[in-house]
């Protein structure tokens, strides 16, 4: 090989290595969930090296990542967020530039049945990540999945960061606590850490245990002739429903800000669960009143009548705005369900 060819080859190799090392590395805890899968896809498209954690990577189903065609492009590690050693081990191994903390028991209704698991996974899980970052002294940026449930009932007034929390479920208590953990570590130790207080966001990848997916699946089965009746709890509750794929974009944008701060991510519009049901059944050509039964046994011990967020700051500072509102979300979920494109 002529010397100039060798030089040329080295230059190519060097730039390939540089390109590789310039690649940002992200770690997503709870990558097997709805948001984890969409976020993995989003970050891969941006050229990130994506790592994820699951409590048991050998037995967990990563059907959402497979569904999005990205399972083979992410590295998955087993990690127990409630064990500091396990968290330290994974952080040392991966050395991420950005961490997205999405793991934890995420169902409000299940949290009434499993309050301890809900508190431990969300509160201790988040605390361990913060402690591990502090202990390792690494300049990693942390996004924490906060929840609109922390605000409680907002009485129709769109919530902003700074509105007092009034949690009304074990899940909301856990998320409110994790929010303050993050704020405290940011202030006390100068960590780059922030919480996105996200309002409900849905997709065909939503777990069937959530009411929106239950409604969509039942409407499609009934339209296909199943003859069943759908039983629901309080249909008067108002929620701010957006589209999950758009919400993970906001997570990434938060970590690109020069200074860390918490943001509300929402559409700014609330609708009742009854409106959601009406929309879903209308999409399949049915009148919901003939197929849905209000069941008092499904009422929660305490619930939120009204939940809506103010996305103005996110729009101004992150350049983020929801384009999909409740009727669009329902239509897309129904379309996927009917085409057999929803998971589980
Ligand atoms: P999912 O429930 O789909 O995913 C959460 C992941 O966390 C699971 O895949 C699971 O991963 C892990 N997990 C579940 N239970 C536990 C547990 N007890 N202990 C430890 N890990 C657990 O949630 P989403 O993707 O919808 O949400 C992501 C995050 O955002 C969650 O923290 C959620 O609370 C929060 N959030 C979600 C909103 C929404 O509307 N979707 C709204 C606001 C906040 P594995 O089994 O592989 O360990």
Q: For residue 178, what are the domain limits? A: 23-205+244-268+308-322
pLDDT of 342 > 80? The answer is no
Residue 333 lies in a domain: no
pLDDT of amino acid 25: 98
For the chain, how many structural domains are there in total? 1
Residue 57 lies in a domain: yes
Q: Residue 297 has what DSSP assignment?
A: G
150 CB within 6 A, ligand 1: no
pLDDT per residue over 158-172, tens digit each? 999 999 999 999 999
Residue 317 lies in a domain: yes
pLDDT of amino acid 195: 99
For residues 321-332, average pLDDT: 98
8 A C-beta contact, residue 111 and residue 161: no
Residue 338 lies in a domain: no
pLDDT per residue over 6-35, tens digit each? 444 444 444 444 444 579 999 999 999 999
198 CB within 6 A, ligand 1: yes
pLDDT of amino acid 343: 66
Residue 5 lies in a domain: no
Give the separation between CA 39 and CA 144, rounded to whole angstroms: 13
Which of 102, 116, 243 is the best mutation target for the ligand 1 pocket, counting ligand atoms within 8 Å of the beta carbon and taking the most? Answer: 102
- Is residue 55 classed as helix, strand or coil in its secondary structure? coil
Q: How many H helices and E strands in the chain? A: 13, 13
Residue 164 lies in a domain: yes
pLDDT of amino acid 130: 98
- Within a 10 A sphere around the Cβ of 115, how many other Cβ atoms? 16
pLDDT of 117 > 60? The answer is yes
Residue 297 lies in a domain: no
Tokens 């399949």, residue located: 284
Mean pLDDT of the chain: 94
Alpha carbons within 13 angstroms on the beta-carbon side of residue 72 total 1
Which residues, other chains included, contact 14 with Cβ-Cβ below 8 Å and sequence gap of 6+? none
Instruction: Kindly indicate the confidence band of residue 137, based on its pLDDT and cuts at 50, 70 and 90.
Output: confident
Task: Look up the CATH number of the domain holding residue 195.
Answer: 3.40.50.720
| Model pTM score | 0.94
pLDDT per residue over 248-297, tens digit each? 999 999 999 999 999 999 999 999 999 999 999 999 999 999 999 999 99
pLDDT of amino acid 340: 84
- Tokens for 227? 């003859």
- Residue 98's beta-bridge partner residues? 26, 141
104 CB within 6 A, ligand 1: yes
CA of 34 relative to ligand 1 center, distance in Å: 8
Residue 17 lies in a domain: no
**DSSP alpha helix (H) spans, 124-231:** 125-136, 170-189, 211-223
- Tokens for 300? 């929660």
pLDDT of 180 > 70? The answer is yes
């Amino acid at each position: 090989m002529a010397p100039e060819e060798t030089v040329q080859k080295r230059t190519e190799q060097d730039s390939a290595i540089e390109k590789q090392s310039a690649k940002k590395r992200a770690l997503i805890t709870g990558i097997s969930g709805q948001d984890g899968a969409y976020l993995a896809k989003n970050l891969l498209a941006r050229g990130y090296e994506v790592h994820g954690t699951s409590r048991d990577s050998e037995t967990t189903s990563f059907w959402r990542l497979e569904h999005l065609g990205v399972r083979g492009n992410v590295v998955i590690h087993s990690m127990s967020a409630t064990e500091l050693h396990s968290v330290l081990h994974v952080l040392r191994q991966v050395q991420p530039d950005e961490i997205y903390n999405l793991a934890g028991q995420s169902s409000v209704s299940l949290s009434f049945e499993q309050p301890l698991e809900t508190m431990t996974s969300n509160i201790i899980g988040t605390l361990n990540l913060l402690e591990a970052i502090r202990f390792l002294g690494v300049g990693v940026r942390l996004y924490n999945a906060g929840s609109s449930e922390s605000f409680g009932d907002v009485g129709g007034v769109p919530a902003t960061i700074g509105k007092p929390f009034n949690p009304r479920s074990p899940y909301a208590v856990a998320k409110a606590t994790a929010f303050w953990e993050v704020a405290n570590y940011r202030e006390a130790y100068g960590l780059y850490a922030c919480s996105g207080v996200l309002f409900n966001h849905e997709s065909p990848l939503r777990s069937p245990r959530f009411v929106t997916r239950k409604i969509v699946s039942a409407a499609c089965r009934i339209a296909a002739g199943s003859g069943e009746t759908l039983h629901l709890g309080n249909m008067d509750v108002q929620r701010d429903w957006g589209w999950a794929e758009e919400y993970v974009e906001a997570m990434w944008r938060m970590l690109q800000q020069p200074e860390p701060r918490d943001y509300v991510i929402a559409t700014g519009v609330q609708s009742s669960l009854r409106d959601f049901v009406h929309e879903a059944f209308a999409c399949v050509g049915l009148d919901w009143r003939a197929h849905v039964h209000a069941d008092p046994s499904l009422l929660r011990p305490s619930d939120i009548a009204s939940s809506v967020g103010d996305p103005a700051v996110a729009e101004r500072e992150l350049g983020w705005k929801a384009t999909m509102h409740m009727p669009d979300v329902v239509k897309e979920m129904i379309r996927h369900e009917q085409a057999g494109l929803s998971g589980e």
